[in-house]
Amino acid sequence: MDVSANRAFDGLGATRDFYKAVFNRDSIDGRGMRLTAFVHYDKRYNNAFWDGHQMVFGDGDGKMFSDFTGSVDVIGHELAHGVTENTAGLEYHNQSGALNESMSDVFGSLVKQWSLKQSADEADWLIGPEIFTPGIDADALRSMKAPGHAYDNDLFGKDPQPDNMENYIKLPDNEMGDFGGVHFNSGIPNKAFYLTAVRVGGFAWEAPGLIWYESLKASHAETQFQEFANTTYRKAAELFGDDSAEQLAVLAAWQDVGIQISGILAGVARARSLAADRSGGTGGENGLATVSQQIGALAAQVTGLAKDVTALKSK
């Protein structure tokens, strides 16, 4: 019996079942694609990847990394590249590449949460916590809950992922520069998804996962962070209604990572976000009433300012 082969089989099955049960998607291409995997790749290979046709797993070197079949979220992450490839086809560089990586983290984490039936509050939001060997002081490869805090040790240094646009990392668009920092800047949309999920509450694969999935399908090869954020806001309205708890959670999450939804004044966004938080992330009549009051107050301020400007001009 090959333990790695069995784990890979179970991970591929869990991922396929997740897409079918949650999004009614027939395998990663939507057309029943057969999922195959190659284990024990190379010698002491420290990685796992999707090559466009199959999954490939390394055994790890036993010093830094262990067998990569041991983490279902890593399996879900890699297979999600196939989903992205068969939907938006996000180009693998700069912001579109970081979105590509983020989508894989999102769905990799959701596969694990769905398999374990964990709520957003119960989930660890870590990618690959099983990958490092016990001798390595690290929580995981990445943390969606706290980008930049997955590890901090002498061997790897400190996790460089930013969690806000003000710390966006600009790197060369080549292999040495991680194609513009795709594995680094993915922390920003990762944090936005995490914040959306915990604000909505319950199971993250339900409303938040559906919003992100539909937004991925509505994206294109060159989609940037701003456009994707706008799409999630729009999709939240289409799926759950304008000013719904889900849409307000999306709005607040992107604002918290330094991205304002286009067409919404920062003050209005802040008022809506505060209302969503005060209503416990449930939307509801009280939350919407607070929103209306705050937007009304903001409108009055704008009207008053306009009158002052008019008066100054007349003088």
Tens digits of residue pLDDT in 145-175: 999 999 999 989 999 999 999 999 999 999 9
Is the pLDDT at 55 greater than 60? The verdict is yes
pLDDT confidence of residue 176: 97
Domain boundary residue, one of 196, 211, 240 = 240
Q: Which of 2-11, 17-26, 186-195 has the least mean pLDDT?
A: 2-11
- HEC states along the chain? CCHHHHHHHHHHHHHHHHHHHHHCCCCCCCCCCCCCEEEEECCCCCCEEECCCCEEEECCCCCCECCHHHCHHHHHHHHHHHHHHCCCCCCCCHHHHHHHHHHHHHHHHHHHHHHHCCCCCCCCCEECCCCECCCCCECCCEECCCCCCCEEECCCEECCCCCCHHHCCCCCCCCCCHHHHHHHHCHHHHHHHHHHHHHHCCCCCCHHHHHHHHHHHCCCCCCCHHHHHHHHHHHHHHHHCCCCHHHHHHHHHHHHCCCCCCCCCHHHHHHHHHHHHHCCCCCHHHHHHHHHHHHHHHHHHHHHHHHHHHHHHHC
User: What residues make up the domain containing 165?
Assistant: 3-240
Is the pLDDT at 295 greater than 60? The verdict is no
pLDDT confidence of residue 276: 61
Instruction: Check residues 134 and 110 and name the one with the higher pLDDT.
Output: 110
Torsion of CA 142, 148, 149, 154, to 10 degrees: 90
Is the pLDDT at 270 greater than 90? The verdict is no
Domain boundary residue, one of 196, 212, 240 = 240
Percent of the chain with pLDDT over 70: 85
Domain count, the chain: 2
Average pLDDT, the chain: 89
pLDDT band at 97 (very low <50, low <70, confident <90, very high): very high
pLDDT in tens, 230-255: 999 999 999 999 999 999 999 999 99
Q: Which of 53-62, 223-232, 283-292 has the least mean pLDDT?
A: 283-292
Is the pLDDT at 188 greater than 90? The verdict is yes
Domain boundary residue, one of 225, 240, 255 = 240
pLDDT confidence of residue 200: 98
- Name the pTM for this structure: 0.87
Please report, for the domain that includes residue 90, its CATH number.
1.10.390.10
Query: Annotated catalytic sites, by residue?
Result: 78, 183
pLDDT band at 135 (very low <50, low <70, confident <90, very high): confident
On whether both 169 and 256 belong to a single domain, the answer is no
On whether both 253 and 233 belong to a single domain, the answer is no
